[in-house]
Amino acid sequence: MARRLDTATLGDHLDRLYRAAWALTGSREDAEDLVQDTYTRVLARPRFLRREDDLGYLLRVLRNTFLNTKRTEQRRPRTQPIAEGFEPVEERVSTRPDRVLETKEVFEAVAALADDFRDVVVAVDVVGLSYAEAASALRVPQGTVMSRLYRGRQQVARRLGGPGSSP
């Protein structure tokens, strides 16, 4: 039996979707745009869910919106690349700059993963879904989630120079 997505509770998932978007895009600004695009798409018309929770559904819409955006970007020519070594000054609300830098590095490492690994790492480690919820949201078997999560975590650790980073 299908139930209607409760639009009044969509704000409850904003933080988790933002973290997932940041991990997908590797950029805070792009993550904000992605979450806005996701909510715009979801709120454009009534949505009905079958055997699914709101967060899993929103995560799938976020992922599909991200992939659609990437496909569109690939078809459009780049007008002017950003100069190499350019680092914009960002305002930080955190009092721990080392934590902000670590978070940025981790999200960049996750964003650099292959799509299959990135989707699972985002679903489980960033959004906090269980293996079963991630499997349902990504429409893959739970064993596949566990396998991709393990390999994705290894790749992130190697990229960050952590445990398992030796060749």
**CA-to-CA distance for 45 and 51, rounded, in angstroms?**
20
In a domain, 90, yes or no: no
* 32-41, 89-98, 125-134, 135-144, range with the lowest pLDDT: 89-98
Whether residue 95 is predicted with pLDDT greater than 70 in this model: the reply is no
In a domain, 11, yes or no: yes
CATH code of the domain containing 115: 1.20.140.160
**Domain that includes residue 121, residue range:** 2-78+96-160
In a domain, 156, yes or no: yes
Closest CA to 64 of 38, 46, 45: 38
Instruction: Kindly report the average pLDDT of the chain as a whole number.
Output: 84
* For range 80-106, the mean pLDDT: 68
Whether residue 37 is predicted with pLDDT greater than 90 in this model: the reply is yes
In a domain, 167, yes or no: no
In a domain, 19, yes or no: yes
Q: How many domains is the chain partitioned into structurally? A: 1
Whether residue 144 is predicted with pLDDT greater than 90 in this model: the reply is yes
In a domain, 59, yes or no: yes
Percent of the chain clearing pLDDT 90 (strictly above): 44
Read off the amino acid at residue 27.
S
Q: Which residues contact 4 (CB under 8 A, 6 or more apart)?
A: 46, 47, 48, 49
**CA-to-CA distance for 23 and 5, rounded, in angstroms?**
25
In a domain, 151, yes or no: yes
In a domain, 102, yes or no: yes
**CA-to-CA distance for 82 and 80, rounded, in angstroms?**
7
Query: Which pLDDT score is estimated for 166?
Result: 52
